[in-house]
A and B are shown apart, each in its own frame.
Chain A
Amino acid sequence: MTRYDRVIPPGGTGQITLGIDTSKEIDEFQKKAIVWSNDPQEERIALFLKGEVKPHISLVPGGYLSLQGIRRQVPVEKLEIINNHKQPLKITAVIHDLPDQIQWRLKENIPGFSYTLEVEAISTKAGDFSGHLVVQTDLTQKPELVIIVNGYIEEN
């Protein structure tokens, strides 16, 4: 979003308004805009917007789990769910589409702020699988977190 006054009389003031859609940014950002004018000494001036965008809820190390190993000996994979808001949240449900391949456990580290999600492969067959775990919360801004789960199960 960019708005600006087209003509500013001698001695007058005007505005250039620049906007940022933070849904397209993550972590630190810097945006540059060039203002072109009829000032013969300074036809272009660079403007900068800087900042940092945090997710409402962080998934550490990320929103992806890979369960890989020999059948019945696949290591349990974990990820941490961190609430970045000052107000606590509730995890209202965890649902997934891999009923025959995985099971999950949720541990509360700091109530309302930090959780560890453990996912274990329970598949009795060798082979690959792929699906999603959805963590539902009561946080209005982030009611769902989608975690991709991939499995690579080998025969003994």
Chain B
Amino acid sequence: MIKNLIKPSTGLIFLITIVLLGSRLFAGQSENTPVIHLDQTTHTFPTAFEGEQLSHSFKIINRGTADLEILDVTHT
């Protein structure tokens, strides 16, 4: 009698646990994303003479919860 009472409840708990774990895992996947942020996207250099090498560094911030990967930087 006791065995019969335990068996269904154990099965139910197991099922609930699986559902909860699954939903948490799924929720975690959607929350853990990178978020790219740049304070500045345009830079204007002061007037330069021909032949000078000019360079500028843009700061990137990852405001997300997963690694931000810079896949490529292309020029147009």
- The main secondary structure of chain B at its interface with chain A is strand
Q: Which of A1-38 contact B (CB under 8 A)?
A: 1-2, 4-23, 25-26, 31-38
Q: Which residues of chain B are within 8 angstroms of A12 by Cβ–Cβ distance?
A: 61-62, 68
User: At the interface with chain B, which of A44-52, A65-73, A101-109?
Assistant: A44-52
| A21 nearest in chain B by CB position | B53
Q: Is the CB of A49 within 8 A of B45?
A: yes
Please count how many residues in chain B sit with their CB below 8 Å of the partner chain's CB atoms: 41
Q: Which residues of chain A are within 8 angstroms of B46 by Cβ–Cβ distance?
A: 51
Q: Is the CB of B76 within 8 A of A15?
A: no
B64 touches A (CB below 8 Å): yes
- The main secondary structure of chain A at its interface with chain B is strand
B22 touches A (CB below 8 Å): no
Q: Is the CB of A15 within 8 A of B59?
A: yes
Q: Is the CB of B35 within 8 A of A39?
A: yes
Interface residues of B (CB under 8 A from A): 33-36, 38, 41-76
Interface residues of A (CB under 8 A from B): 1-2, 4-23, 25-26, 31-42, 45-56, 84-85, 141
